[in-house]
Chains A and B, each alone.
Chain A
Amino acid sequence: MPDKSVKVICPSCGAENLTGTLFCVQCGIYLPFGGPLRTEPLPEQGQGQRPTATDRRTDTQEGKALSLEMEILDTGRKVWLSAEREILVGRLDAAHGIFPELDLGVDGGLEHGVSRRQARIYTKDGVCLLEDLDSTNGTFLNGERLTPYLPYTLHNEDVLTFGTMRLKIYIYTSK
Chain B
Amino acid sequence: MGAFDPEKDYYAALGVPVEASEEEIKVAYRDLARRYHPDSGGDAERFRQIQEAYEILRDPTLHRAYDRQRESRGLSQESPLVIGLTLNRTNMQPLEVPQMLYVLVDIRPRVDLPSQRLPLNLALVIDRSTSMQGVRMENVKLAALDLVESLLPGDRLSLVAFSDRAEVIASGLSVSDKRALRSAISALMPGGGTEICRGLTAGLDELRRYVSDQYLNHLILLTDGRTYGDEEQSLSEVRRAGAQKIGISALGIGEDWNDLFLDALARQGGGICQYIRSPSQVRQLLRDQIRGLSAVVARQVRLVINPAPNVKIQAAFRAAPYMEYLTLENGTTLKLGNMGVDEPIALILDLVVQQPEPGERRLARLELEAATANDTAVTLQLRRDLAMTFSYSAQDEPVPGRLLNMLSRLSIFRLQERAWELAESGDVQQATNMLQAAATRLFDLGYKELAQVALTEVGRLSAGGAPTSEGRKRVRYGTRSLTSPV
Q: When each residue 48-79 of chain A gets 1 if its CB lies under 8 Å from chain B and 0 otherwise, what string results?
A: 10000000000000000000000000000000
Q: How many residues belonging to B are interface residues under a CB distance threshold of 8 Å? A: 51
B384-424 contacts to A (CB < 8 Å): 396, 398-402, 404-405, 407-408, 410-412, 414-415
Q: Count CB-based A-B contacts (< 8 Å).
A: 120
Determine if A19 and B396 form an interchain contact, defined as CB atoms under 8 angstroms apart.
no
Cβ A134 vs Cβ B402 within 8 A = yes
B404 touches A18 (CB 8 A): no
Instruction: Report the minimal beta-carbon distance from B410 to chain A, rounded to whole angstroms.
Output: 8
Query: In the complex where A2-B396, A86-B446, A115-B486 touch, is A147 in contact with B402 (Cβ < 8 A)?
Result: yes
With A147-B402, A148-B402, A149-B402: A23-B411 Cβ-Cβ less than 8 Å: yes
- Against A, the Cβ 8 Å flags (1 = close, 0 = not) of B279-296 are 011001100000000000
Q: Is the CB of A4 within 8 A of B408?
A: no
B112 interface residue per 8 A CB criterion: no
Chain B residue nearest to A7 in the complex (CB): B97
Which chain B residue lies CB-closest to A99? B449
Q: Using known A-B contacts A2-B396, A40-B401, A48-B58, determine if residue A28 contacts B486 with beta carbons closer than 8 Å.
A: no
* Residues of chain B within 8 A of A18, CB atoms compared: 97-100, 352
A44 to B395, CA, bound (A): 13
Question: Cβ of A23 and Cβ of B402 under 8 Å apart?
Answer: no
The smallest beta-carbon distance between A81 and chain B, in angstroms, is 16
Q: Enumerate chain A residues within 8 angstroms of B434, measured Cβ to Cβ.
A: 26-27
A27 to B407, CA, bound (A): 14
A82 → B minimal CB distance (Å)? 16
Instruction: State whether the Cβ of A166 lies closer than 8 Å to any Cβ in chain B.
Output: no
Tell me whether chain A's interface is mostly helix, strand or loop, or mixed.
Answer: loop
Whether B438 pairs with A28 at a CB distance below 8 angstroms is: yes
- The answer to the question of B213 belonging to the interface, with a C-beta cut-off of 8 Å to chain A, is no
Residues of B within 8 A of A134 (CB): 320, 402, 405, 483, 485
| In-complex Cβ contact of A115 among B58, B95, B320, B485 (8 A) | B485
B22 vs chain A, min Cβ distance (A)? 8
In the complex, whether A11 has a CB less than 8 A from a CB of chain B is no
CB distance from B11 to the nearest CB of A (A): 18
Residue of B at shortest CB range from A22?
Answer: B407
Whether B88 sits at the interface, judged by CB under 8 Å, is: yes
